[in-house]
Chains A and B, each alone.
Chain A
Amino acid sequence: MFKYIKQLTSFVAMVAVLFAFSTEAMAKKSKTLKNTQKKGFVRCGVSQGLPGFSNADASGNWTGVDVDVCRAVAAATLGDANKVKFTPLSAKERFTALTSGEIDILSRNTTWTLSRDADIGLTFVGVNFYDGQGFMVRKNSGITSVNQFKNGISACTNIGTTTELNMRDFFNSRGISYEPVAFEKADEVVAAYDSGRCDTYTTDKSGLAAQRTKMQNPDEHIVLPETISKEPLGPVVRQGDSVWEDIVRWSLNVMIEAEEYGITSANADSMKNSENPAIKRLVGAEGELGAAFGLDNEWSLRIIKQVGNYGESYKRNIADTGILPDRGPNQLWTKGGILYVPPAR
């Protein structure tokens, strides 16, 4: 009797193992993708309000270039760009929320650094905004360059950001003593700087430009021309789900490549008849690109149709809102910028 039970269990176990392997091999589906499709929405971590990047309006609609990355993933995986649940996170909370599984994508103007990528269970999938740290001062202070900073200057910033580290490197290398005043929330940094607690406000230049719009009198402040660091900002995912990582990476890449080939939300459908095979692949008229992620073939078409290409997203969120009308480095490589993505093929 016992012998049979033993045999039976080992047989069942073997079948189970085989089954597990075969399903793994057949549909190369990511666990995160499966959960996302089961829930019916993409769980996306964003900032607590940074105009142009991720900002909620009065009725709770999120807009911004960071938001558009999550919307693109939703369009690709769920067929509807609006199926995203946004979770506003402070700089301090963001990585814990991602590693603990509270969100599946962190798209929150986050700087890609070695230690973050390698050390704490995160994977950066790309760059959706090339930025650098700068300083904002009051116009009437007469300061026009960081070279005019003197000992005893007080600088407001956020805690838990690369900003804090860059600031130290900057002031240290110049031998200037300074008073760092670091808040947890961006709104409090702005309030403190605006009221005169600090002589300068330092963070990523895009952030400065965006926060300036929140000041009582935006015209009274200027952003100094110097950039003291490299801040490549991009979406982050948890380590350990390489398929999901690929989905997010290529959702972003598709947006950038669509701009390169001149595919917009308006002309995407008609592009199916294009002569160019690269364009046909991007709109799903040729090739089987989606199968690699366990998605259908129209995933990239949906991204372009529902969210638009990178240029459209930039124009809608950052240029037209007056935050940074000039695209600077965030221009396609073909037009003198540094946006260059691997080919989608």
Chain B
Amino acid sequence: MNAKIRKIIPQILTLAVVALIFGFFTINAQTNMENRGIEFGYGFLTQESSFDVQFSLIEYDGSHSYARAYLVGLLNTLLVAFIGIIISTVLGVVIGIARLSPNYLIERTAAFYVEFFRNIPLLLQIFFWYFAALRALPLPQDADAILGVFFLTIKGLFVPRFVWENLDIFFYSILAAFISIIVIKNYAKKLQENEGKQLPVLSISFGLFIILPLITFLIGGVSLSFEIPVIKQLSTTSFVYEGGLGIPPELIALTLALALYTATFIAECVRAGIQGVSKGQKEAAASIGLTPNQVLKLVIMPQALRIIIPPTTNQYLNLTKNSSLAAAIAYPDLVLVFAGTALMQTGRAIEIVSITMFTYLSISLSISILMNWYNKRIAITEK
């Protein structure tokens, strides 16, 4: 009995202290806001925002609500996080493997890359890519066409826009390709288990993935044309591209900086993961006649992944949170649009900051949950 109470008392005390601290801050904020005649409430979200945003994935202008502006910022943040995670993962894996290369030059280059980009503050890198690197780009009228249709200028990267016809049929064909790939994969597995034969699944999958959508072009009525950006004169010396798709330099600079920076950490995770698999595993696999590719794919990677995934999840979270540095270079992410402009125009600091915090928390937890699920899936299942 005594022991039980002794166990509970510290718990209750901790809870009381936490509740007191929270209570103090809440009451303090409330009285202060009351004294200054500030009202608390989320009603402003439905009001007209009356400011425009440079770049939006959904239709938006100042006549929409603050809630819509929030969505614009959120989607822009997710866009940077998504592209950044993909690029940094690919780059990180390549660099990580390169650091283990027996080739001295490759190994040193990779090591230099990691040490260089890892040890410079991220904000500085973002400024570098935005102000130094992108500023070195030509003005629209001086830009040379890349492959005839791409224009990389100081005002952004202008690329042709796809103009689809019967896009839905094209989507169905991709879906069909996916389903047939899964069927073939299962069949190949059975074939190997029952008869020991191996099917070249990868090449078949690639083939299906290309051939099925291709057929829709030939007989399905799907057609694709391009709208190529055309230069337009605004005044004697200023030009811009019209038509096509304009990718703002802010997005390019931010994504580049985030991906290059985070890739260094992912590279280290990958290197640690591969080195964490004992050498004997590799030698044993080689001794039973597996090819080097098979050794990597069937023996090393499945074990290395278990070491790689948890720290890499951290890096994904970091990248997402670091994307809030966007405000420094005018990329309209959640912080700039919502916790910046919207906060200033409404003055609802507590409401907006709390929404923003909750949003980042939700994004991070979602990524965490996804990666934990993946980690569990590849973990050793004890029988």
Contacts and interface: CB of A to CB of B under 8 A. Distances in A.
A154 B240 contact: yes
Contacts of A196: 135, 139, 154
Interface string A85-99: 000000110011001
Given A120-B38, A195-B131, A182 B236 contact: no
B273 interface: no
Nearest to B127: A188
Contacts of A240: 35-37
Given A160-B343, A240-B37, A141 B249 contact: no
B346 to A, nearest CB: 8
Interface in B186-242: 232, 234-238, 240, 242
Contacts of A182: 54, 330, 332, 336, 341
A142 interface: yes
Nearest to A192: B330
A159 interface: yes
A323 interface: no
Interface size range of chain A in the complex: 35 or more
Contacts of B53: 180
A179 interface: yes
A99 to B, nearest CB: 6
Interface in B139-172: 139, 154-155
Contacts of B340: 92, 159-160, 184
B224 to A, nearest CB: 26
A165 B328 contact: no
A138 B238 contact: yes
B236 A142 contact: yes
A140 interface: yes
A152 B330 contact: no
Interface string B29-68: 0001101111000000000001111100000011000000
Contacts of A275: none
What's the dominant secondary structure at chain A's contact region? mixed
Interface string A210-253: 00000000000000000000000000001110000000000000
B268 interface: no
A119 to B, nearest CB: 6
Contacts of B238: 138, 141, 153, 199
Interface in A120-150: 120-121, 137-138, 140-143, 148-150
Contacts of B155: 154, 197
B347 interface: yes
Contacts of B139: 196
A242 to B, nearest CB: 12
B51 A168 contact: yes
B172 to A, nearest CB: 36
Given A150-B234, A182-B341, A199-B234, A165 B37 contact: no
B234 A184 contact: no
A116 interface: yes
A172 interface: yes
A191 interface: yes
Interface string A147-183: 0111011100001110011011100100000111111
B327 interface: yes
Contact of A121 (B37, B236, B332, B336): B37
18 contacts: A99-B36, A116-B347, A121-B36, A142-B235, A149-B234, A153-B234, A159-B327, A160-B341, A160-B344, A160-B345, A164-B51, A165-B50, A167-B52, A181-B330, A188-B329, A197-B154, A239-B35, A240-B37
Interface of A: 91-92, 95-96, 99, 101, 115-116, 119-121, 137-138, 140-143, 148-150, 152-154, 159-161, 164-165, 167-169, 172, 178-185, 188, 191-192, 195-197, 199, 238-240
Q: List 4 A-B pairs, minimum CB-CB distance, nearest first.
A: A120-B347, A160-B344, A121-B36, A142-B236
Given A120-B347, A141-B237, A160-B345, 13 more contacts: A99-B38, A121-B36, A141-B238, A148-B235, A150-B235, A152-B232, A154-B240, A168-B51, A179-B248, A197-B155, A238-B36, A239-B36, A239-B37
